Structures are given as structure tokens and as C-alpha cells.
Amino acid sequence: MRVSRLLLVTLRDDPAEAEIISHKLLLRAGFIRRVGSGIYAYLPLLWRVLQKISAIVREEVNAVGGLETLLPQLQPAELWERSGRWAGYTAGEGIMFHLLDRQERAFGLGPTHEEVITTIAADLLRSYRQLPVCLYQIQTKFRDEIRPRFGLMRGREFIMKDAYSFHADEEDLRRTYQDFDGAYRRIFSRCGLRAVAVEADSGAIGGSASQEFMVTAEAGEDLILASPDGRYAANQERATSRAGAAVPLPAGPFRVLATPGQSTIQGLCSAHGFDPSQIVKVLLLVARFADGPDQPLLISLRGDQQLNDVKLANVLTARLGGERGTLLEVEPINPEQVQRQGLAPLPFGYLGPQLEDAVLAGARDWSTHFLRLADATAAELERFVCGANGGEAHRVGVSWSDLGLKPEALDLRAAQPGDRCLHDVSQVLVASRGIEVGHIFQLGRKYSEALGARFTNEAGQEEALWMGCYGIGVSRLAQAAVEQHHDANGLIWPVAIAPFELIIVIANGQEAAQVALAEQLYGDLQAAGVDVLLDDRSERAGVKFKDADLIGIPWRLVVGRGAAGGTVELVERAGGAKQELPAAELAATLVPLLLAQRRGLALDLPAQGEGA
């Protein structure tokens, strides 16, 4: 490809719409253009990157037995009704774009494909003899994200590879899950990414075990907590740990302490010398479900701990999901909402776990009993400080039995960096940030049972299929690569996913010898299978070098003054190392190196003259 024909439109300044470096660079270097919030055009340069990533994904997924297919993006609501996910994906904070056709039938635009694939499996799979089977596709997904941002990182339309496997038993599912774990590690490493596997929450997809693959980067939206011994790593949404011990409350009789204006943990502690770990704080939230009344929640946490929303949502679904359907959202209760329910004001800032259900009597849309949940760190305190539920006062030195309560100890707290690990208390969790590029799940039989995907086993009995699913954010991965590989001058693509592997720059387009040698090398390298770009524009050399750096082509071959003597300059984009080479040697030295790098192998360029 010639740069003059490439429609290369670069921007000199950082675009105002971008916050993180990878987003800025992709816009500046002409890889993407924004069409709407979370909606991007993949310009020809990026499309080449996406094709290369897809090719690597295909190779590795095929190698573990995947069969490529393409499923519809327009999905009948009925399938989602049957799996029980329609309400959760369309109401409240649901992320599925949905519409009615001319006959008023409802459809969703596919955010994921469990329903569709399971329906097809129900139709095609009959016998254990057909198993295991694994289907996958690389396709655009639609999600009406609450906060689309960072360009391709969180788009509302993005490219995903999603695979689904079907098995006769759980053991076989585990094997395929392991195979995908290996395939994913190879995919990310071949794409030149430093990625780590972490334990993950299964979220709205469901199932038992799940693992995410994170590209480590400061701009990542996920917090990873890991032990230095390498034995534990988890997304904070999921992470467990041992909380630090509470500071014991000094002995003394139970008392009610006037605490005017001390409605925060910090205010209370600094006024009376308490440690936050001596306090039980109470959070009032309300959970909305697809069916039934909204559920007020009274959550007790130790004063130094934070609530983990994901763990809470999982507990709520387990406790109430059967009866009230999908959990739609959970939000804090504020004084205005209390008023709207027609209730008397609540003592915010002075709440204690013993707040009586009577305060909910007569509520308009709320259930009139609290669901009371306590984190283990709070439930395990013997004596503590808590709000007195009125009169700007706290109770000091109370126990749970004084309050007439017997809380069950749940894990609702967010693990924090610095916490001790459960597997080894000498290990302390360390935090880093990550971009989730892949997620693998053991789904079990959730979808096959709901959608009637059954097979006849070896014993001749009918049972539901075991399922796994495996996603990779292909477009997010492309941007994550930029987040890990760039410098002040622009992008630095790993060879395996670079839009072009090498760019030939003619230093002076007026010099016939330079033009002739560049054209000859361009032809030779193309013939040798190198993905080569020729900068044939009549710009100054400096401008061409800047553009080559900005778009991040990993190797640059400069045909300049040495052309008359048959030498060229080879510059590596990463690090900028330069060397003069006889043009005649390129076929023997550079070509094998590029082909190896394309496979994700790191080879060194032989020192000058050594390779031939």
C-alpha cells in the first residue's frame, strides 16, 4: 500500500473528546472517528489491526476445537423471556437496545448470544455422540452502556469474539474451560499484550466459575487485587480477604452518648477518640426487582469497611430472585424518597442496626420489612458503637444481643489493598489496574435448562447440556494494545497486530536513485510476504518520519543518501535503534525477523552482515 492512497488524515492536536492516551492517539493517528456516543467508525488502518487480531483469535480458537459461525444480532424477545433475562436486560439499568417490529413484536439487539446459541443447540444436539461441540463468532455486539467512554474501551457497539461450548458432563466442560484458558493466554501474548488472569464475578451472564483476563494498564477501569506470591489474583468485584482486626472497645458500661453534629464516622471518631473499626455503620438502600414491591435494605458494616455492590447484588438475587425475579437496581435511600413513600423522616447519620420495621409502616411502594444483612466484620464485633436511631446520639458498648439481633455473617465488604490473604495471612493484597479483554465462564446448565437444550446420555436418559462461554473484546483489545504500547511520538504496534509491519520512507522524492531503490524494495518485500507501506508522498522527510511514528509502524526503512551505494537505514519504532544495512541483505535478515515477530516470537535482528 502507498501512503498517498491510504486516506491518511492525522490530527496535530489532542482531540478534546478523548481523556486517555490510547483514545487520543487512535483519533490523532486516523484509526477511528466518533459517530455518536460510544459509536465509532473503524477506519482502514484500524480495520487492518482488527483483522489481524481476529486472525490470531481464529487460529487459537480453532486449535481448541472451535467451529466458526455467525448468529443473528436481531434477537426475538421471546428467547430472553424464556431464559428470564428480558426484564433485567431491558428495564432499569439493563443494557440491551430493544425495539418493536411493524407487527409490534419485541426484539433486542444482541449484547451477548447465550439465548440464541442455546436455542440452536436445543434443535441440533440430540445425543452424547455429538458432544462436545464448540461454536464461536466474531461479530458486532450492542450494549447501551450507562457510561460509554474511552473510545473503543467501552463502546455501545463493539466487536466481540464469543464462543459457546456444550458438554455431556461437568468434567468435560472443565476440560474445555482449561483449553480456553490456554488459548486466551496464547492469544494475548501473540498480540503483544501483558495480560493476567484473575478470578471474576459472573455478573448477569451467570454460572459458577469465571475468570477474566486483564491487560494491566493505569487507565483500566477494573481494580485487580493480587498476592505477591502469585497464588491469588481477583477482580475487586469478586476478591475476598481477611479484614484487619478491630481495635477492641475499652471496657465500660453501656451508655448513650450525645453526638450532636457528629453524623459521619470521621466526625464521631475525632470527637470521641473511637477507631472506625469499633463502629457499626448502617446503610439504607432500596432494591428494585422485576416483580413485587421494592425492598428496603438495612446493611450493617464495620465502620472501616466499604460495601461491595456486586457481592450485595449476588446475595439479593440468591435470597429474593426466586420470588421477585430479576434484580433491576439497588440505590441508596435518601430523605426525599422517604417523604415520597409517605413515611416520617428517618434519623440519617444516627442509624443503628436495631431500626425497627415500624418506620416502614404505610410505605407506598416499599415492602414494610427491612431485609437486614450484615457483613462478617460487623457481625463478629462483640461490643461496638452504633447510632441510637434518633436524638443525635450513639450507643456505646452495645452487643448484638443487647439490640435483640442475631445477624448472619455474610461477605459483603470490598477487599482492599493491604488486606491479608485468605490462603496465607503473611501475604498482603497489592492493587493494580486492568482492562478486561476476555472473560471465560463455566455456565453449567442455567441456559440449557431454561431453554430446553437436552440430549440423550450414554445411559439413554435425557438431561440438560452443560455449557461454557468465552468472550474476547476484539475492538477493546486493539485499544488496550495502544494503552500498553506508545510513547510521546505516537503508537508503537506489536508486529503481530500492526496495520503494516514496515514502512519504506523515501527521504527525497526528487532523487531518482532513492525512488528507484525504494520502489524495488517495496516490490521485493511485498513479494516476500511482508505487510509493507511505501511513503511515496512529496512531503519533507521529517513530516514523513513523524507520521510513521504517529501511526506506529514497528519498522521503518529509510531510503536516503545511501541509496546510490545500495544502503538503507533501518529504524525500530520501539526504542528508535537505527542501523545502516546493504539493501541486498534485507531479504535474508529482516524478512525472517518480521515473519517471526508476526508469530509473536521475539527474535533479535542479526548484527550487520551476520545474517546472510
Question: What are the backbone angles phi and psi of residue 128, rounded to the nearest 5°?
Answer: -55, -25
Q: Does 400 bind ligand ATP (CB under 6 A)?
A: no
Q: Which stretch binds ligand ATP (CB under 6 A): 153-161, 293-301, 322-330, 377-385?
A: 153-161
Q: Which is nearer to ligand ATP, 114 or 547 (CB)?
A: 114
Q: Does 145 bind ligand ATP (CB under 6 A)?
A: yes
Q: Which does 113 bind (CB under 5 to 8 A by kind): Mg ion, ligand ATP, none?
A: none
Strand ranges, E, within 445-597: 454-456, 462-464, 466-473, 486-487, 490-491, 502-506, 532-535, 555-559, 567-572, 578-582
* Sole binder of ligand ATP in the list 311, 439, 485, 544 (CB under 6 A): 439
Q: Which stretch binds Mg ion (CB under 5 A): 60-68, 435-443, 535-543, 593-601?
A: 435-443
Number of residues that bind Mg ion (CB under 5 A): 1
| String of contacts with Mg ion for each residue 361-400, x by CB under 5 A | ----------------------------------------
The residue type at 369 = H
Q: Which is nearer to Mg ion, 439 or 486 (CB)?
A: 439
Q: Nearest-CB residue to ligand ATP?
A: 473
Q: Which does 473 bind (CB under 5 to 8 A by kind): Mg ion, ligand ATP, none?
A: ligand ATP
Nearest-angstrom CA–CA distance, 175 and 332: 42
CB of 142 to Mg ion, least distance (A): 16
3-state secondary structure of 268: helix
* Sole binder of ligand ATP in the list 114, 436, 535, 547 (CB under 6 A): 436
Nearest-angstrom CA–CA distance, 23 and 63: 33
The residue whose grid cell reads 491479608 is 420
Using the CB atoms, write b or e for 287-314: b if 16+ within 10 Å: bbbbeeebbbbbbbbbbbbebbebbbbb
Q: What is the CB neighbour count within 10 angstroms for residue 17? A: 11
Q: Does 598 bind Mg ion (CB under 5 A)?
A: no
The residue whose grid cell reads 460495601 is 307
Binders of ligand ATP among residues 468 to 497 (CB under 6 A) are 471, 473, 475-476
Instruction: Enter the DSSP assignment of 343.
Output: P
Identify the helix (H) or strand (E) that includes residue 215. Answer: strand 210-216
* Sole binder of ligand ATP in the list 22, 75, 83, 112 (CB under 6 A): 112
CB of 208 to ligand ATP, least distance (A): 15
Q: Which stretch binds Mg ion (CB under 5 A): 50-58, 126-134, 154-162, 431-439?
A: 431-439
CB of 22 to ligand ATP, least distance (A): 13
Nearest-angstrom CA–CA distance, 114 and 467: 10
Q: Which does 155 bind (CB under 5 to 8 A by kind): Mg ion, ligand ATP, none?
A: ligand ATP
Instruction: Enter the DSSP assignment of 243.
Output: P
Q: What is the CB neighbour count within 10 angstroms for residue 423? A: 11
Q: Which stretch binds ligand ATP (CB under 6 A): 172-180, 346-354, 437-445, 570-578?
A: 437-445
Number of residues that bind ligand ATP (CB under 6 A): 17
CB of 217 to ligand ATP, least distance (A): 13
Which one, of 583, 479, 476, lies nearest residue 522 by Cα?
Answer: 583
Nearest-angstrom CA–CA distance, 26 and 28: 6
Task: Establish whether the linkage from the previous residue to 132 is cis, with ω within 30° of 0.
Answer: yes
Q: Which stretch binds ligand ATP (CB under 6 A): 59-67, 379-387, 435-443, 495-503?
A: 435-443
Q: Does 161 bind Mg ion (CB under 5 A)?
A: no
Q: Which is nearer to ligand ATP, 403 or 431 (CB)?
A: 431
Strand ranges, E, within 317-452: 327-332, 371-375, 384-387, 393-398, 409-410, 430-444
Binders of ligand ATP among residues 154 to 183 (CB under 6 A) are 154-155, 158, 160
CB of 180 to ligand ATP, least distance (A): 13
Q: Which is nearer to Mg ion, 212 or 531 (CB)?
A: 212
Q: Does 439 bind Mg ion (CB under 5 A)?
A: yes
CB of 597 to ligand ATP, least distance (A): 25
| String of contacts with ligand ATP for each residue 188-227, x by CB under 6 A | ---------------x-x----------------------
Identify the helix (H) or strand (E) that includes residue 50. Answer: helix 44-63
Q: Which is nearer to Mg ion, 320 or 435 (CB)?
A: 435
Q: Which does 106 bind (CB under 5 to 8 A by kind): ligand ATP, Mg ion, none?
A: none
Q: Which is nearer to Mg ion, 85 or 439 (CB)?
A: 439
CB of 436 to ligand ATP, least distance (A): 4
Q: Which is nearer to ligand ATP, 152 or 605 (CB)?
A: 152
Q: Which is nearer to ligand ATP, 154 or 556 (CB)?
A: 154
Nearest-angstrom CA–CA distance, 117 and 407: 43
The rounded Cα 128 to chain-centroid distance in angstroms is 34
Q: What is the DSSP string of 246-259?
A: PPPPPP---EEEE-
Nearest-angstrom CA–CA distance, 91 and 75: 17
Largest pairwise CA distance in the chain? 97
325 close to 380: Cβ distance less than 8 angstroms? no
Residues in CB range of 81: below 8 A, 6 or more apart:
none
Q: Which is nearer to ligand ATP, 202 or 597 (CB)?
A: 202
Q: Which does 282 bind (CB under 5 to 8 A by kind): Mg ion, ligand ATP, none?
A: none
Which one, of 409, 365, 414, 370, lies nearest residue 389 by Cα?
Answer: 370
Grid cell for residue 435: 482492562
Q: In what order do the strands lie in the sheet with 106-109?
A: 74-76, 106-109, 98-100
Q: Which is nearer to Mg ion, 113 or 439 (CB)?
A: 439
| Chain positions contacting ligand ATP, by CB under 6 A | 112, 143, 145, 154-155, 158, 160, 203, 205, 436-439, 471, 473, 475-476
By CB under 5 A, name the binding residues for Mg ion.
439
